[in-house]
């Protein structure tokens, strides 16, 4: 049947589960009807314009020819339509041409963009991060010259962190920035630069980490520089070419239509953003903005895999159903296939609810009426960002893998289409700080925020809602909350130790499972009051399945958290070469 943006599920998750309808009081010029109109229009655009390019983009990919990078066929035209529709400006500041909509609305649209075409969505995602950074830390001139162009989508943005010898360890970067009057000259090479060069926009604004000549060693010596592909002229238009170029594009497992470039900076003219040696802190602002979007990538790719697997299971006939006399029966009527499909759907909706809840918290952190509300929301956002990013992208990979399984042998054949989603999904757990880094951030820093108040408040809120829920769901959720609290207490007692780091990934999975199960229970409770019995029954079935299949694993995960690092240390012998 092909992809169709799940506008109803997205609007429901946004308003009834994540609570945007309550947060709209902080946006007096916005109402629920307008929000729905935006989502509906995004659904039409992603379904009709972006989704049809997804398969062809995977097959043909981006091209590097004679020192130039070309996006996959059709992408430049689709990008032109994207900016004409105003999709790059949704939550950008109005003073720079943005629409000033909630972050949660923009994230919901990005969910649909990624589901339709993940490779395409990576381009505006990075521009959004650049807008976020320059809005907060650009000079007045930088804001005046660059923000209107980035907000309109006429220019796109990138993040330049990684170098061949410096992956996640940015202390090792060698790119240099030499003072040249009021400007700087940047020299060095960066790798893995997503949409680092392309033919869809007239200019590209690179945000580049580099070292000044007198910089101290390590991360404390990193500064951030704005390096345009073309230097703006006196009228703010893209002028002469700067001294930078793409050297090649990577040949990747997936996202073939997204050009991932090796970039060479050869004395390129640059401007510093922020203060000297503060580059890493500023880049983390971009990364944090991008991390929530990467979480939504996991949701989007899971949604696409769900739709593909469901449609195949509705059409393919094989075996005998336990529920009917059909032989051969539709795959969807075989118990284990039905289990996989429901688990795929439940995890996708749980991840969506986590991401949207984090985005609503981000909106309230900036726009809530009182300082107390803003601070409470800020702490909730900080706590949930690593969960939204890591848990949701793990879900994207798992759901895409299950989608292949539903297809059986056909899923392993490229022509069936399911394999692309698995290949595309696999990058998201690596993007913007690997999921292991997210887990260490959660355990090492986020649990201790404000003396542990954010995680305690989350547990209190979850427990307070248990009486509203289906009894079986509530029982499993109560046990999962208790297991997560037990693991949290153990980590707090062992904070900063190797033992705590060894349990970090298991803890993030445990917390994501528990919060995801809670939000599915909230969804079932909210759906019961909508007057659509079939829709409510569907939400309840997802909450029940997740509770029985996922939340029941919580005690074991809590044990894994507290297992410590001793076996990891001893296990080095098992990894020694023979």
Q: pLDDT digit of tens for each residue in the chain (578 aa)?
A: 689 999 999 999 999 999 999 999 889 889 999 999 999 999 999 999 999 999 999 999 999 999 999 999 999 999 999 999 999 999 999 999 999 999 999 999 999 999 999 999 999 999 999 999 999 999 999 999 999 999 999 999 999 999 999 888 888 999 999 999 999 999 999 999 999 999 999 999 999 999 999 999 998 999 999 999 999 999 999 999 999 999 999 999 999 999 999 999 999 999 999 999 999 999 888 888 899 999 999 999 999 999 999 999 999 999 888 887 778 999 999 999 999 999 999 999 999 999 999 999 999 999 999 999 999 999 999 999 999 999 999 999 999 999 999 999 999 999 999 999 999 999 999 999 999 999 999 999 999 999 999 999 999 999 999 999 999 999 999 999 999 999 999 999 999 999 999 999 999 999 999 999 999 999 999 999 999 999 999 999 999 999 999 999 999 999 999 999 999 988 888 888 66
CA-wise closest residue to 428 among 56, 103, 119: 119
- Model pLDDT, residue 578: 61
Burial of 575 (0-12, 13-18, 19+ CB in 10 A): exposed
- Model pLDDT, residue 168: 80
Q: Show the CA angle centred on residue 425, arms to residues 253 and 4, nearest 5°.
A: 120
Residues 290, 278: Cα–Cα separation, whole Å = 19
Token pair belonging to 49? 């314009």
- Model pLDDT, residue 327: 84
Q: Which residues of 428-455 are buried (b: 16+ CB within 10 A; e: fewer)?
A: bbbbbbbbbbbbbbbbeebbbeeeeebb
Residues 404, 389: Cα–Cα separation, whole Å = 23
Burial of 319 (0-12, 13-18, 19+ CB in 10 A): middle
Cβ-proximal residues to 302 (8 Å cutoff; 6+ apart), any chain: 344, 347, 348, 351, 395, 396, 399, 400, 425
3-state secondary structure of 358: helix
- Model pLDDT, residue 326: 78
Residues 42, 431: Cα–Cα separation, whole Å = 25
Chain-centroid distance of CA 212 in Å reads: 32
Residues 268, 411: Cα–Cα separation, whole Å = 47
User: Is residue 277 a contact partner of residue 173, using CB atoms and an 8 Å limit?
Assistant: no
Active-site positions read 432
What are 223's strand-pairing partners? 210
pTM, two decimals, is 0.97
On the question of a cis peptide bond just before residue 578, with omega within 30 degrees of 0, the verdict is no
Token pair belonging to 158? 């990138």
Residues 419, 425: Cα–Cα separation, whole Å = 10
Report the number of secondary-structure helices (H) and strands (E) in the chain: 20, 11
Residue pointed to by tokens 């979007």: 293
3-state secondary structure of 80: helix
CA torsion 347-351-356-358 (nearest 10°) is 140
What is the DSSP-derived secondary structure letter of residue 175?
-
CA-wise closest residue to 3 among 403, 305, 293, 402: 305
User: Is residue 79 a contact partner of residue 200, using CB atoms and an 8 Å limit?
Assistant: yes
Sheet strands (E) in 256-316: 260-273
Burial of 189 (0-12, 13-18, 19+ CB in 10 A): middle
CA-wise closest residue to 312 among 398, 403, 399, 402: 403
User: Is residue 232 a contact partner of residue 274, using CB atoms and an 8 Å limit?
Assistant: no
Greatest Cα-to-Cα distance within the chain, rounded to the nearest angstrom: 82
Residues 298, 398: Cα–Cα separation, whole Å = 10
Residues 357, 102: Cα–Cα separation, whole Å = 12
CA torsion 505-519-116-334 (nearest 10°) is 90
- Model pLDDT, residue 2: 87
Q: Which helix (H) or strand (E) holds 115?
A: helix 103-116
- Model pLDDT, residue 287: 85
Cβ-proximal residues to 270 (8 Å cutoff; 6+ apart), any chain: 177, 183, 184, 185, 186, 208, 210, 225, 226, 227
């Amino acid at each position: 049947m092909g992809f169709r943006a799940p506008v109803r599920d997205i609007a429901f998750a946004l308003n009834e589960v994540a609570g945007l309808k309550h947060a709209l009081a902080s946006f007096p010029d916005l109402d629920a009807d307008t929000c729905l109109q935006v989502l509906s229009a995004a659904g039409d655009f992603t379904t009709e314009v972006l989704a049809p390019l997804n398969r062809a983009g995977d097959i043909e990919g981006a091209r590097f020819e004679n020192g130039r990078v070309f996006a996959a066929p059709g992408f430049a035209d689709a990008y032109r339509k994207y900016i004409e529709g105003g999709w790059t400006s949704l939550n950008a500041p109005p003073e720079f041409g943005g629409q000033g909509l909630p972050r949660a609305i923009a994230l919901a649209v990005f969910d649909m963009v990624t589901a339709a075409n993940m490779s395409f969505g990576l381009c505006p995602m990075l521009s959004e991060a650049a807008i976020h950074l320059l809005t907060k830390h650009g000079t007045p001139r930088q804001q005046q010259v660059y923000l209107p162009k980035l907000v309109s989508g006429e220019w796109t943005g990138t993040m330049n962190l990684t170098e061949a010898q410096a992956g996640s360890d940015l202390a090792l970067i060698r790119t240099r920035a030499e003072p040249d009057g009021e400007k700087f000259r940047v020299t060095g090479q960066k790798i893995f630069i997503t949409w680092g060069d392309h033919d869809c926009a007239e200019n590209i604004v690179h945000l580049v980490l580099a070292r000044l000549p007198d910089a101290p060693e390590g991360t404390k010596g990193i500064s951030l520089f704005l390096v345009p592909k073309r230097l703006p002229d006196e009228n703010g238009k893209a002028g002469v070419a700067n001294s930078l170029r793409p050297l090649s594009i990577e040949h990747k497992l997936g996202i073939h239509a997204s050009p991932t470039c090796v970039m060479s900076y050869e004395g390129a003219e640059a401007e510093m953003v922020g203060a000297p040696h503060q580059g890493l802190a500023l880049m983390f602002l971009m990364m944090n903005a991008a991390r929530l979007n990467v979480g939504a990538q996991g949701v989007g790719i899971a949604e696409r895999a769900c739709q593909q697997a469901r449609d195949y299971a509705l059409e393919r006939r094989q075996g005998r159903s336990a529920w009917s006399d059909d032989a051969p029966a539709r795959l969807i009527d075989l118990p284990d296939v039905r289990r996989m499909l429901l688990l795929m759907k439940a995890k996708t909706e749980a991840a969506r609810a986590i991401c949207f809840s984090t985005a609503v918290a981000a909106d309230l952190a900036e726009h809530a009426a009182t300082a107390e509300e803003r601070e409470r929301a800020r702490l909730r956002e900080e706590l949930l960002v690593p969960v939204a990013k890591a848990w949701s992208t793990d879900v994207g990979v798992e759901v895409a893998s299950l989608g292949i399984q539903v297809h059986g042998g056909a899923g392993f054949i490229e022509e069936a289409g399911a394999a692309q989603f698995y290949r595309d999904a696999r990058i998201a757990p690596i993007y913007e700080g690997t999921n292991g880094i997210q887990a260490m951030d959660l355990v090492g820093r986020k649990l201790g925020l404000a003396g542990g108040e954010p995680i305690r408040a989350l547990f209190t809120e979850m427990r307070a809602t248990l009486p509203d829920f289906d009894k079986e769901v509530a029982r499993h959720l109560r046990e999962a909350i208790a297991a997560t609290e037990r693991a949290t207490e153990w980590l707090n007692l062992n904070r900063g130790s190797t033992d705590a780091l060894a349990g970090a990934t298991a803890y993030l999975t445990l917390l994501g499972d528990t919060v995801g199960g809670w939000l599915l229970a909230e969804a079932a409770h909210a759906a019961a009051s909508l007057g659509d019995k079939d829709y409510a029954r569907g939400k309840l079935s997802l909450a029940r399945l997740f509770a029985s299949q996922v939340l029941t694993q919580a005690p074991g995960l809590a044990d894994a958290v507290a297992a410590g690092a001793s076996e990891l240390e001893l296990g080095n012998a098992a990894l020694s070469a023979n």
